[in-house]
Amino acid sequence: MISVEEALGHVLDLVTPLESESVTLTEAAGRVLASPVAAGRDQPPFPASAMDGYAVRSADVAPGQRLRVIGQSAAGHGFRGSIGPGDAVRTFTGAPVPQGADRVVIQEDVTRMGEIITLNQNIDAGPYVRPAGTDFRAGATFAPARPLTPSDVALLASMNLPDVPVTRKPEIALVATGDELVMPGEAPGADQIIASNTFGLKALIERAGGRARLMPIARDTVSSLKAIFDLSAGADMVVTVGGASVGDHDLVAEVAAERGLERAFYKVAMRPGKPLMAGRIDGTPMIGLPGNPVSAMVCGHVFILPALRRMLGLPAQRAPRRRAQLAAPVGANGAREHYMRARLTPDGLEVFDRQDSSLLSVLADADALVVRPPDNPAQEKGAWVEYVPLQA
Ligand SMILES: Nc1nc2c(c(=O)[nH]1)N[C@H]1C(S)=C(S)[C@@H](COP(=O)(O)OP(=O)(O)OC[C@H]3O[C@@H](n4cnc5c(N)ncnc54)[C@H](O)[C@@H]3O)O[C@H]1N2
Ligand code: MOO
């Protein structure tokens, strides 16, 4: 068995960043920029007022000073002239500050009589002028190494970029295997259960910016598995779920080998997720996940998402980890790296007692996977541990 780190290295080696496509800004959230983009203009493009008030020369600012209002500058309708000594221009938030002015006095700090304003005794320091290019300059580049956030989209819009180059969404074919499985909503026989893993994985993949294709359930026969492998052609990656272990009906390895799988590894020193396999069939990366529902989802976080991120052009990295303190002691770990379902509370990480890899109800309660290194001794309450956030 190889370590998780080694296995992840192999998985990341199986994939490469995909090509780019152009999308409109309204479709850009959650996508990954394929190349840096550059601002089309300065923002703000002119010195802009930050307040409603009067644009003045700071040399003219003194308590009780009287100034003459010579015009107005509104957002979208600037004052065309320039102001000289003793002048003021009625100015609104977002409006260009007229030439000659270097300060805005807020309207609460003046008394106006006709076209004359008198500055009050106490005046806000100001200057309430945002110089041109305060936010960014024309030509400033933007290349975040993450899926575009709502804030990023707002920034791209203000850079005057109606379309942006993004990496094509990786398409991942998800193949559930097993005679015991029926689709949600179908009437299961007495020995059957509902296929859940591929649905969870689809949600995980699509939340991270991929596209998942749910394939028909493959039955525990060589011919059925072969047929579903054929149907999966064209995907950027094929992920099978179940049939990965050593039982007589675990046929994924056999069929994949027949299809010419160049296997990178089989079996990883992790818990859950031991009978994981990965390789390439005809150039297409293939990952075989174990069937236990929690094993499949944990492997989704630990292997599929890093591979997906690499296909999206993001750095080849393991699942992000954070550190927190344990809210209660935990026992010694065994020889496999253990991803323990836990909840982050104000008192620290509460590791659940029930860690069986079939328990989706426990996984749904968890928002963290506490990572226990192989042979990690028992840990006291308050010990610092690493965890993989599940909602990230
Ligand atoms: N003798 C041994 N037996 C097992 C070993 C071992 O080393 N020696 N490893 C165990 C471990 S660890 C795991 S994990 C499982 C993985 O087995 P498979 O990948 O072959 O998975 P299946 O047998 O097909 O299914 C296991 C379990 O999960 C249910 N399942 C499968 N697919 C789905 C799905 N899409 N949705 C919901 N549930 C699913 C399936 O019904 C089984 O209950 O092997 C151990 N055995
Ligand atoms: O590794 Mo299995 O995934 O322990 O349940």
Structural domain boundaries enclosing 304: 4-18+168-311
Instruction: Compute the distance from residue 336 Cα to the ligand 2 centre, in Å.
Output: 10
> Same domain for 274 and 286?
yes
**348 vs 368: CA distance, rounded Å:** 11
Q: How far does residue 291's CA lie from ligand 2's centre (Å)? A: 8
| The domain boundary residue, chosen from 130, 157, 192 | 130
Query: Is the same domain home to 255 and 178?
Result: yes
Residues 237 and 327 in one domain: no
Which residues face 55 on adjacent strands? Answer: 89, 104
Do 27 and 162 reside in the same domain of the chain? yes
pLDDT at 221: 93
Whether residue 190 sits in one domain with residue 60: no
Residue in 370, 333, 321 with CA at minimum distance from that of residue 349: 370
Rounded to whole angstroms, the Cα distance separating 62 from 36 reads 48
CA 369/CA 79 separation, integer angstroms: 60
Residue 180 Cβ < 6 Å to ligand 1? yes
Strands 181-182 and 262-266: unpaired
Same domain, 228 and 298: yes
Q: Which residue has the tokens 């933007």?
A: 142
In a domain, 108, yes or no: yes
Cα distances (angstroms) measured from residue 273 to each of 77, 298, 336, 374: 64, 7, 10, 14
Q: Is the CB of 78 under 6 A from ligand 2?
A: no
* Cross-strand pairs, 117: 67, 112
336 in ligand 2 pocket by Cβ < 6 Å? Answer: no
Domain CATH number, residue 57: 2.170.190.11
Do residue 271 and residue 295 come from a single domain?
A: yes
What is residue 122's DSSP assignment? S
Among 166, 183, 210, identify where a domain stops: 166
CB of 293 closer than 6 A to ligand 2? Answer: no
Give the nearest ligand 1 atom to 196 CA: 36
Taking the chain (392 residues) in consecutive chunks of 10 residues, what is each chunk's mean pLDDT? Answer: 97 98 98 97 97 98 97 96 97 98 97 97 94 97 96 98 98 97 96 97 97 97 95 97 84 92 96 96 96 97 98 97 98 97 98 97 98 98 98 76
- Token digits of residue 306: 């890093």
Q: Does ligand 2 have an atom closer than 6 angstroms to the CB of 357? A: yes
Any atom of ligand 2 within 6 Å of the Cβ of 292: yes
Ligand 2: atom nearest CA of 299 is 3
Total domain count, the chain: 4
Q: Are 312 and 321 in contact (CB under 8 A)?
A: no
Domain end residue (candidates: 311, 336, 358):
311
Q: Which ligand is nearest to the CA of 273?
A: 2
In a domain, 61, yes or no: yes
Residue 372 CB–ligand 2 contact under 6 Å = no
- Measured distance CA(131)–CA(44) in Å, rounded: 7
Residues 107 and 162 in one domain: no
* Residue at 317 is within a domain: no
Nearest CA to ligand 2 atom 2: 272
Question: What CATH number is associated with residue 300?
Answer: 3.40.980.10
> Could you tell me if the CB of 338 is within 6 A of ligand 2?
no
197 lines ligand 1 (CB under 6 A): yes
- CA–CA dist 74, 95 (Å, integer): 5
Q: Is residue 117 located within the same domain as residue 242? A: no
CB-ligand 2 contact for 379 (6 Å cutoff): no
The 3-state DSSP class for residue 253 equals: helix
Which residues fall within 8 angstroms of residue 137, CB to CB, at 6 or more apart?
39, 42
Q: Return the CATH number at 26.
A: 3.90.105
Do 275 and 366 sit in the same domain of this protein?
A: no
Distance of CA 1 to the CA centre of its chain: 31
Task: Tell whether 316 is covered by a domain.
Answer: no
Which residue's structure tokens are 């094929």? 238
Q: Residue 293 to residues 99, 159, 262, 318: CA-CA distances in angstroms?
A: 67, 45, 26, 21
Report the CATH number that the domain containing residue 342 is assigned in CATH.
Answer: 2.40.340.10
Residue 136 domain flag: no
Pocket test for ligand 1, best of 292, 294, 297, 360 (most atoms within 8 A of CB): 292
The verdict on 36 and 97 lying in the same domain is: no
DSSP state of 215: P
Q: How many Å lie between the centroid of ligand 2 and the Cα of residue 269? A: 10
Angle of CA points 358, 361, 367, to nearest 5°? 105
Ligand 2 atom at minimum distance from 274 CA = 1
> ipTM > 0.90?
yes
Percentage helix, strand, coil, to 5, in the chain? Answer: 20, 30, 45
> Which one of 175, 245, 267, 294 would you pick to mutate in the ligand 1 pocket, going by the greatest count of ligand atoms within 8 A of its CB?
245
Query: What would the DSSP string read from start to end of 126-179?
Result: ---EE-TTSSB-TT-EE--SSPPPHHHHHHHHHTT-SEEEEEPPPEEEEEEB-T
Q: CA 358, CA 300: separation in Å to the nearest integer?
A: 15
In a domain, 190, yes or no: yes
Is 371 part of any domain?
A: yes
Q: How many whole angstroms from 80 Cα to the centroid of ligand 2?
A: 73
Contact 294, 363 (CB under 8 A): yes
Q: Which ligand is nearest to the CA of 220?
A: 1
Q: Give, using CA atoms, the residue closest to atom 4 of ligand 2.
A: 272
Q: Which ligand is nearest to the CA of 177?
A: 1
Handedness of CA 134, 139, 140, 143 (dihedral sign): positive
**Per DSSP, which regions of 58-131 are E strands?**
66-73, 87-91, 103-106, 110-113, 116-119, 129-130
370 in the same domain as 300: no
pTM here is 0.92
